[in-house]
Amino acid sequence: MTRTNGERTPAYPSSPKQRQRYARMLRAAAHLGAVHGLEGMQMHDVARRSGVAIATLYRYFPSKPHLFAAVLHDQVRRLDAGSPLPPQGAGPVEAVSELLTGASRQLFEQPLLALAMLQSNNVSHVGDGDPARRTDEIVADLILRMAGVSDPCDQDRRVVRILEQAWYGLLTTVLYERSTAEAAQEGIRLACRLLLGPVLCERRS
């Protein structure tokens, strides 16, 4: 069954009951997405597993990409809310490296879900709040916080955006089996060093 109602504005959960139901749908999608991936997962199975009507599921998530974008958004929000602290004694570049390689390791544990989320990440609207803070903005702010940059200038934000895009790209090469996880993790550390190093130097001088 193909639904092409991607143009309709997705619903927001507002009451506590709606939020619970919304969380159940995200959990079901994360579980089934890890088993079946974007193509293989069926919206009907998500509705069944989360105990909602199929129409309800589509009201919140007009398509599978909307659903997986919301799962990613939820995972990133949790990571952010956990307010991870830089490892003791780590410099700012190392702190960001640890953040990104740690998150990568978790993503690699469920490669089908990770790929489904990254393939869906460009769906712009994630309906968990209005205005929703975009996934890439949450990640950017988290990177800046880990790097100890509390007053980012435009240039800092541009650099972090490049790092974020490089990170997604390196993750994708692993998930499509075009690169090993080890090579990608090494690439992520190198990207942190080359991109963030100058930003942080300028700041100290």
153 binds a second copy (CB under 8 A): no
Q: Which of 35, 169, 180, 202 binds a second copy (CB under 8 A)?
A: 169
101 binds a second copy (CB under 8 A): no
The alpha helices in the chain, defined as continuous H runs, are 16-40, 43-50, 54-60, 64-81, 92-109, 111-120, 135-146, 154-175, 181-204
- Min. distance of Cβ 4 from a second copy in angstroms? 9
The count of chain residues that interact with a second copy, using the rule CB under 8 A, is 28
- Cβ nearer to a second copy, comparing 24 with 133: 133
- Min. distance of Cβ 159 from a second copy in angstroms? 7
CA distance 78 to 84: 10
180 binds a second copy (CB under 8 A): no
CA distance 67 to 191: 30
198 binds a second copy (CB under 8 A): yes
Nearest to 60 by CA among 24, 20, 116, 9: 9
156 binds a second copy (CB under 8 A): no
- Cβ nearer to a second copy, comparing 14 with 122: 122
Give the three-state DSSP class for 116.
helix
Sequence letter at residue 87: P
Tokens of 196: 């963030």
Decide: residue 147, CB within 10 A, 0-12 exposed, 13-18 middle, 19+ buried.
Answer: buried
User: Which of 83-92 are b and which e, b meaning 16 or more Cβ less than 10 Å from the residue's Cβ?
Assistant: ebebeeeeeb
106 binds a second copy (CB under 8 A): no
Window contacting a second copy (CB under 8 A); options: 25-33, 63-71, 78-86, 154-162: 154-162
191 binds a second copy (CB under 8 A): yes
Q: Which of 85, 158, 180, 202 binds a second copy (CB under 8 A)?
A: 158
- Min. distance of Cβ 190 from a second copy in angstroms? 6
* Chain residues 117-136 in contact with a second copy, contact rule CB under 8 A: 122, 124, 136
Residue 149 · residue 156 · CB < 8 Å = yes
- Judged by the rule CB under 8 A, the positions of this chain that interact with a second copy are 122, 124, 136, 155, 158-159, 161-166, 168-170, 172-173, 176-178, 183, 186-187, 190-191, 194-195, 198
